[in-house]
Amino acid sequence: MIRLDKMLAHMGYGSRKEVKELIRKGYVSVDGEIIYSDDYKVKEDSEIIIFDEVVKYDEFVYLMLNKPDGYISATFDNNMPTVLDLINGYESRNLFPVGRLDIDTYGLLILTNDGKLAHKLLSPKNHVNKKYYVKYDGKYNDKFIEIFKKGIPLEDFTCKPAEFVNLGNNEAYITISEGKFHQIKRMMEYVGCNVTYLERIEFGPLKLDSNLKRKEFRPLTKEEIELLKAE
Protein backbone atom coordinates (compact mmCIF):
# COMPACT_ATOMS: atom_id res chain seq x y z
CA MET A 1 0.00 0.00 0.00
CA ILE A 2 1.22 3.46 -0.85
CA ARG A 3 -0.27 6.93 -0.40
CA LEU A 4 -2.10 8.09 -3.51
CA ASP A 5 -0.33 11.48 -3.63
CA LYS A 6 3.04 9.85 -3.21
CA MET A 7 2.39 7.35 -5.97
CA LEU A 8 1.26 10.00 -8.45
CA ALA A 9 4.21 12.26 -7.64
CA HIS A 10 6.61 9.35 -8.03
CA MET A 11 5.12 8.67 -11.42
CA GLY A 12 5.72 12.19 -12.65
CA TYR A 13 2.20 13.67 -12.42
CA GLY A 14 3.59 16.70 -10.58
CA SER A 15 5.11 17.68 -7.26
CA ARG A 16 3.52 16.40 -4.06
CA LYS A 17 1.76 19.78 -3.74
CA GLU A 18 0.45 19.68 -7.31
CA VAL A 19 -0.90 16.15 -7.12
CA LYS A 20 -2.57 16.87 -3.77
CA GLU A 21 -4.40 19.69 -5.56
CA LEU A 22 -5.51 17.37 -8.38
CA ILE A 23 -6.82 14.87 -5.84
CA ARG A 24 -8.71 17.52 -3.84
CA LYS A 25 -10.34 18.80 -7.01
CA GLY A 26 -11.69 15.33 -7.81
CA TYR A 27 -9.63 14.52 -10.88
CA VAL A 28 -8.46 11.18 -9.53
CA SER A 29 -10.39 7.96 -9.09
CA VAL A 30 -9.29 4.66 -7.62
CA ASP A 31 -11.08 1.46 -8.60
CA GLY A 32 -14.04 3.45 -9.93
CA GLU A 33 -14.45 5.81 -6.97
CA ILE A 34 -13.41 9.47 -6.94
CA ILE A 35 -10.96 9.99 -4.08
CA TYR A 36 -10.63 13.41 -2.44
CA SER A 37 -8.10 12.63 0.30
CA ASP A 38 -4.43 12.70 -0.61
CA ASP A 39 -3.45 10.28 2.16
CA TYR A 40 -5.72 7.58 0.73
CA LYS A 41 -3.75 4.34 0.47
CA VAL A 42 -3.77 2.45 -2.81
CA LYS A 43 -2.74 -1.06 -3.64
CA GLU A 44 -0.14 -1.48 -6.33
CA ASP A 45 -2.70 -3.20 -8.58
CA SER A 46 -5.47 -0.62 -8.05
CA GLU A 47 -6.84 0.97 -11.20
CA ILE A 48 -6.14 4.67 -10.94
CA ILE A 49 -7.61 7.12 -13.41
CA ILE A 50 -6.43 10.70 -13.61
CA PHE A 51 -7.98 13.08 -16.17
CA ASP A 52 -9.60 10.05 -17.89
CA GLU A 53 -6.19 8.44 -18.29
CA VAL A 54 -5.47 5.07 -16.72
CA VAL A 55 -2.30 5.26 -14.69
CA LYS A 56 -0.08 2.27 -15.07
CA TYR A 57 2.01 1.53 -12.04
CA ASP A 58 5.36 0.70 -13.55
CA GLU A 59 6.92 -2.62 -12.73
CA PHE A 60 10.35 -1.05 -12.47
CA VAL A 61 11.45 1.93 -10.42
CA TYR A 62 14.54 4.02 -11.17
CA LEU A 63 15.67 6.63 -8.66
CA MET A 64 18.56 9.07 -8.47
CA LEU A 65 19.83 9.68 -4.93
CA ASN A 66 22.25 12.37 -3.82
CA LYS A 67 24.05 10.19 -1.31
CA PRO A 68 25.31 11.78 1.90
CA ASP A 69 28.14 10.29 3.93
CA GLY A 70 27.41 7.91 6.80
CA TYR A 71 25.22 5.53 4.75
CA ILE A 72 26.37 2.30 3.22
CA SER A 73 25.44 1.20 -0.30
CA ALA A 74 23.59 -1.98 0.60
CA THR A 75 20.02 -3.07 1.21
CA PHE A 76 20.64 -4.18 4.78
CA ASP A 77 23.28 -3.84 7.47
CA ASN A 78 23.36 -4.89 11.10
CA ASN A 79 25.13 -1.78 12.35
CA MET A 80 25.00 1.08 9.91
CA PRO A 81 22.17 2.91 8.13
CA THR A 82 21.90 2.02 4.46
CA VAL A 83 20.99 4.15 1.45
CA LEU A 84 17.59 2.40 1.47
CA ASP A 85 16.86 4.15 4.77
CA LEU A 86 16.80 7.41 2.80
CA ILE A 87 14.12 6.23 0.36
CA ASN A 88 10.59 6.69 1.65
CA GLY A 89 7.52 5.51 -0.16
CA TYR A 90 9.08 2.61 -2.06
CA GLU A 91 9.31 0.13 0.81
CA SER A 92 7.58 -2.66 -1.09
CA ARG A 93 9.50 -2.23 -4.37
CA ASN A 94 12.63 -4.27 -3.55
CA LEU A 95 15.04 -1.54 -4.55
CA PHE A 96 18.80 -1.93 -4.43
CA PRO A 97 21.71 0.38 -5.27
CA VAL A 98 23.36 0.00 -8.68
CA GLY A 99 26.94 -0.54 -7.53
CA ARG A 100 28.55 0.95 -4.48
CA LEU A 101 29.84 4.19 -3.15
CA ASP A 102 31.98 4.07 -0.01
CA ILE A 103 30.33 5.12 3.24
CA ASP A 104 32.13 8.50 3.09
CA THR A 105 31.54 9.10 -0.65
CA TYR A 106 28.85 11.55 -1.74
CA GLY A 107 26.78 11.99 -4.84
CA LEU A 108 25.01 10.20 -7.61
CA LEU A 109 23.67 6.75 -6.82
CA ILE A 110 21.02 4.97 -8.85
CA LEU A 111 18.54 2.71 -7.07
CA THR A 112 16.28 0.35 -8.96
CA ASN A 113 14.53 -3.00 -8.89
CA ASP A 114 15.47 -3.68 -12.52
CA GLY A 115 18.06 -6.40 -12.03
CA LYS A 116 18.70 -6.84 -15.72
CA LEU A 117 19.59 -3.19 -16.31
CA ALA A 118 21.69 -3.02 -13.14
CA HIS A 119 23.61 -6.09 -14.21
CA LYS A 120 24.25 -4.57 -17.62
CA LEU A 121 25.40 -1.24 -16.18
CA LEU A 122 27.77 -2.93 -13.75
CA SER A 123 29.19 -5.45 -16.18
CA PRO A 124 32.94 -4.90 -16.69
CA LYS A 125 32.32 -5.52 -20.40
CA ASN A 126 30.20 -2.41 -20.60
CA HIS A 127 32.69 0.30 -19.46
CA VAL A 128 30.13 2.73 -18.07
CA ASN A 129 32.01 5.94 -17.23
CA LYS A 130 31.76 7.35 -13.73
CA LYS A 131 33.00 10.86 -13.08
CA TYR A 132 34.09 11.99 -9.63
CA TYR A 133 34.95 15.34 -8.12
CA VAL A 134 37.94 14.78 -5.85
CA LYS A 135 39.80 16.80 -3.23
CA TYR A 136 43.08 15.47 -1.96
CA ASP A 137 46.11 16.07 0.20
CA GLY A 138 49.49 15.76 -1.50
CA LYS A 139 51.43 17.40 -4.24
CA TYR A 140 49.98 17.65 -7.75
CA ASN A 141 52.24 16.73 -10.64
CA ASP A 142 51.50 17.22 -14.35
CA LYS A 143 52.51 13.57 -14.84
CA PHE A 144 49.24 12.49 -13.12
CA ILE A 145 47.35 12.95 -16.39
CA GLU A 146 49.60 10.54 -18.26
CA ILE A 147 49.82 8.06 -15.37
CA PHE A 148 46.02 7.83 -15.14
CA LYS A 149 45.69 7.54 -18.91
CA LYS A 150 48.22 4.71 -19.08
CA GLY A 151 46.39 2.56 -16.49
CA ILE A 152 47.54 2.53 -12.88
CA PRO A 153 48.90 -0.83 -11.66
CA LEU A 154 47.34 -1.58 -8.26
CA GLU A 155 48.22 -4.62 -6.15
CA ASP A 156 45.41 -6.83 -7.43
CA PHE A 157 44.74 -5.43 -10.93
CA THR A 158 45.76 -2.80 -13.43
CA CYS A 159 43.20 -0.04 -13.87
CA LYS A 160 41.79 0.68 -17.28
CA PRO A 161 42.78 4.05 -18.73
CA ALA A 162 41.23 6.84 -16.69
CA GLU A 163 40.99 10.59 -17.07
CA PHE A 164 42.52 13.00 -14.57
CA VAL A 165 41.53 16.65 -15.02
CA ASN A 166 43.45 19.01 -12.77
CA LEU A 167 41.25 21.76 -11.33
CA GLY A 168 44.08 23.31 -9.31
CA ASN A 169 43.95 23.84 -5.58
CA ASN A 170 44.26 20.06 -4.91
CA GLU A 171 40.97 19.38 -6.70
CA ALA A 172 40.35 17.22 -9.76
CA TYR A 173 37.79 15.44 -11.88
CA ILE A 174 38.59 11.77 -12.30
CA THR A 175 36.67 9.54 -14.69
CA ILE A 176 36.92 5.76 -14.49
CA SER A 177 35.07 3.05 -16.37
CA GLU A 178 35.35 0.43 -13.63
CA GLY A 179 34.10 0.34 -10.08
CA LYS A 180 36.56 -1.66 -8.03
CA PHE A 181 36.75 -1.41 -4.25
CA HIS A 182 38.11 2.03 -3.17
CA GLN A 183 39.34 2.50 -6.71
CA ILE A 184 39.74 6.28 -6.82
CA LYS A 185 41.28 6.38 -3.35
CA ARG A 186 43.75 3.67 -4.31
CA MET A 187 44.62 5.35 -7.61
CA MET A 188 45.34 8.58 -5.77
CA GLU A 189 47.44 6.72 -3.19
CA TYR A 190 49.48 5.33 -6.07
CA VAL A 191 50.47 8.89 -7.02
CA GLY A 192 51.22 9.73 -3.39
CA CYS A 193 47.99 11.55 -2.54
CA ASN A 194 45.23 11.04 -0.02
CA VAL A 195 41.59 11.62 -0.98
CA THR A 196 39.86 13.91 1.51
CA TYR A 197 36.56 14.36 -0.34
CA LEU A 198 34.93 12.23 -3.02
CA GLU A 199 31.70 12.89 -4.86
CA ARG A 200 30.30 11.08 -7.89
CA ILE A 201 28.88 13.65 -10.26
CA GLU A 202 28.15 11.51 -13.32
CA PHE A 203 27.13 7.94 -13.93
CA GLY A 204 27.17 7.01 -17.63
CA PRO A 205 24.88 9.49 -19.38
CA LEU A 206 23.39 10.83 -16.12
CA LYS A 207 24.54 13.92 -14.26
CA LEU A 208 23.85 14.48 -10.57
CA ASP A 209 20.80 16.75 -10.47
CA SER A 210 21.95 20.03 -8.91
CA ASN A 211 18.44 20.53 -7.50
CA LEU A 212 18.81 17.45 -5.31
CA LYS A 213 20.11 18.27 -1.88
CA ARG A 214 22.09 15.67 0.02
CA LYS A 215 19.83 12.78 1.10
CA GLU A 216 17.22 13.75 -1.50
CA PHE A 217 16.14 11.53 -4.36
CA ARG A 218 13.86 11.69 -7.35
CA PRO A 219 12.61 9.27 -9.99
CA LEU A 220 14.58 9.28 -13.22
CA THR A 221 12.75 10.88 -16.12
CA LYS A 222 11.67 8.73 -19.06
CA GLU A 223 14.50 10.25 -21.13
CA GLU A 224 17.08 9.40 -18.46
CA ILE A 225 15.82 5.81 -18.27
CA GLU A 226 16.09 5.50 -22.06
CA LEU A 227 19.64 6.91 -21.98
CA LEU A 228 20.65 4.43 -19.30
CA LYS A 229 19.16 1.54 -21.23
CA ALA A 230 21.07 2.63 -24.32
CA GLU A 231 24.43 2.58 -22.48
Q: Annotated active-site positions, please? A: 102
Strands 194-203 and 106-112: parallel
Q: Report yes or no: 149 and 187 within 8 Å, Cβ to Cβ.
A: no
Backbone angles phi, psi at 134, to 5 degrees: -125, 135
Residue 184 sits in the site that holds ligand URA (CB under 6 A): yes
Number of residues engaging ligand URA in binding (CB under 6 A): 8
Taking the least distance from each CB to ligand URA, the nearer of 24 and 182 is 182
Residue 67 sits in the site that holds ligand URA (CB under 6 A): no
Backbone angles phi, psi at 90, to 5 degrees: -125, 25
CB of 30 to ligand URA, least distance (A): 42
Label residue 228 left, alpha or beta by phi (over 0 means left) and psi (-120 to 50 means alpha): alpha
Residue 47 sits in the site that holds ligand URA (CB under 6 A): no
Label residue 83 left, alpha or beta by phi (over 0 means left) and psi (-120 to 50 means alpha): alpha
- Give the binding range for ligand URA (CB under 6 A) out of 21-29, 76-84, 165-173, 183-191: 183-191
Helical H runs in the chain?
4-10, 16-24, 115-122, 143-150, 183-190, 222-229
- Give the binding range for ligand URA (CB under 6 A) out of 13-21, 146-154, 180-188, 218-226: 180-188
**Among 101, 108, 110, 152, interactor with ligand URA by CB under 6 A:** 101
Taking the least distance from each CB to ligand URA, the nearer of 20 and 185 is 185
CB of 211 to ligand URA, least distance (A): 23
| Chain contacts with ligand URA (rule: CB under 6 A) | 101-102, 105, 182-185, 198
